[in-house]
Every structure is written in C-alpha cells, then in structure tokens.
Amino acid sequence: MNQTNSGVLRSVFYDLDLSKWSRTPKKSVVKRDINANRKYGHWTPDYNFKTPTPPPYPNWDINTTRPQPYRAFRHKYSITMAIRNMDFHQWIELDNEWLKFHNHKLERTREKKQELCVTSPEARDAAFELLDELWNYLPHRYPSLFQQTPDGLSNLVTGESWSFKNGTKEDPMYIAAMLLQDDIAIMIEQEDGQYVLKGGAIMLAGFWRLKDKFNLPLSAIHTSGDVPKYKEKLQTGMEKFFIRQTCDKPVVRNNYFIQTDGNLPWSKSIGDEDKDVVVRDKV
C-alpha cells in the first residue's frame, strides 16, 4: 500500500525473510511513451504491454446473473464525454439476457447480414486483434459459457464454434458480435488525425444504421445524428482524447436513450428501417 509521511511518498511492503514491516523510499519510474511524437495514422507497437487475464466473474450464471444497474441520471445534468477509467477485468459485461440478444442477432443476420456487418480492409487487422483479445478474455471471465480451442472459441451453451486464430473467411466483426451482447464499432485514425468508422457489427442499435455512418469521421457521425450540443461541448475534447488514447489506459462510458417500444433491434418510432432515408416520427 502507499502512504504519505511528512510529504514523502513511501511504499510499504511485508518482508517475509525478516517477518516485519519494512519501509523503503519508492523511486519514481517514468514510462517512456514510444508514440509520443508519432505521425497521425502511424504507431509503433508496444510489445511490453499485455492485456491482463481476468478472474472468473463471481457466481456468474447465464440464467440468473442480472444486468449491472447503472444510474443514467444525476441530480444535476451537464453534457460531457462522461468517461472514467476502466478495470480491465470488467471490460465485457454479460448477463442473463445474453441468449435474448444472441437470438435477436441470429434472426437479424439471416435477413440482412451484409447491411449489419462490415469490415473494411483498413480495419481488418484491428478486427482480428479484437478477436484475439476476446479469445483470451471470455473463457477466463465466463468459463461456463466459453471455452478456448486451438483455433478459436466454443460456446458451451449454444454449441457454436468459431475459428479465427489462423484467419477466416467469415467477417471478423460478425464473429465478435456473436460472442457478445453489444454492438461493436472500430474507428481507424487517418493521416489527417480524424477517426473514421471502418468496421462494425451494428445489429441491435435500435435507432441508427451502419450504412448511414460507415466511412464517416467521428464528428460527422455525431452531427448527422443530431447529438445535442456536440459541436459546442464535445467535438474538440473527443477528437483530442481519441488521439491521446493508449492501450494500457482503457476507459468506459455509459450512454442511454429512451425507446417508446420494446423492439430492441429497430424502434418503429424511428420510421421504416428499409427506406433509403429514415425520418423520426414526430411526437
């Protein structure tokens, strides 16, 4: 643990050989950022970093584990990015609605898979990196649902098996989405510094379509969706934040919207999903 004594930060550890508490000054270690002066769209891989392997989710059960309760509103509302540091162990949240989400995705992709899942060549490496992270994370966090195989993952509940460790003809974003409850999007940094949507599996968004946002930069994704106060309050901070983000400092945010029907994949209040232009019904 850490404690402060007369303004001096010291680390405290238990010395097993002497069976007593020892105190030694803690030397500060400055981690060199190998990408501090990089050009937009270019990175040097940090091979010293490895994503921590999570412990099993305590008492997780596909039938009884309820969704995490998140408080959507506070007593004082202000528009911010609302991000916070993320514990690596809590990266992927699954609950007793996993099967419901999964079945919705199966039904949706039977009808319009090509519209719902796209991975551009520019995002393909990132998509397979995502699958590799899920290959390590999911069987350790949810061992009653997923099992590692030499070339992928098996689902112990549905009997599905996904092969991707040695490449696959399947869309990698589709595979990732079928493992999770969430929809997934990959933004790729361009050489002008903008982040552009280059890969996605958007199956249960409720109110927006991948084809309307694909290949758009971060700003246009939000402004085309009429996000309130985006230009005034969010745009500059979000664009700078994406550029500064590093793999060892993940963040999380919770978003919400209110839907006036129970149709999770697509809300009829938004209009007809299959029309060229979607227009929200007036209230």
pLDDT tens-digit series, residues 249-274: 898 887 777 788 888 899 888 888 88
> Is residue 208 in a domain?
yes
| Strand boundaries in the chain, DSSP class E | 2-5, 8-15, 20-25, 84-85, 117-119, 146-149, 152-155, 161-163, 184-189, 195-201, 251-252
**How confident is the model over 167-185, as pLDDT tens digits?**
999 999 999 999 999 999 9
Q: What is the CA radius of gyration of the chain?
A: 22
Alpha-carbon torsion 137, 104, 95, 181, what sign? positive
**How confident is the model over 31-65, as pLDDT tens digits?**
567 888 889 998 888 888 899 999 999 999 999 99
Alpha-carbon torsion 99, 273, 231, 75, what sign? negative
> Is residue 14 in a domain?
no
CA–CA gap between residue 195 and residue 239 (Å, rounded): 8
> Is residue 15 in a domain?
no
**Confidence (pLDDT) at 189:** 93
- Provide the CB-side half-sphere exposure for 66 (13 A, CA): 3
What is the domain extent for residue 247? 43-66+80-256
Average pLDDT, the chain: 84
CA–CA gap between residue 40 and residue 189 (Å, rounded): 7
Confidence of residue 131 (pLDDT cuts 50, 70, 90): very high
> Is residue 271 in a domain?
no
Q: How many separate domains does the chain show? A: 1
> Is residue 25 in a domain?
no
> Is residue 240 in a domain?
yes
**Average pLDDT of the residues in 235-241:** 80
**Confidence (pLDDT) at 36:** 80
Neighbours of 257 (CB within 10 A): 10
- Which residues is 85 bridged to in the sheet? 251
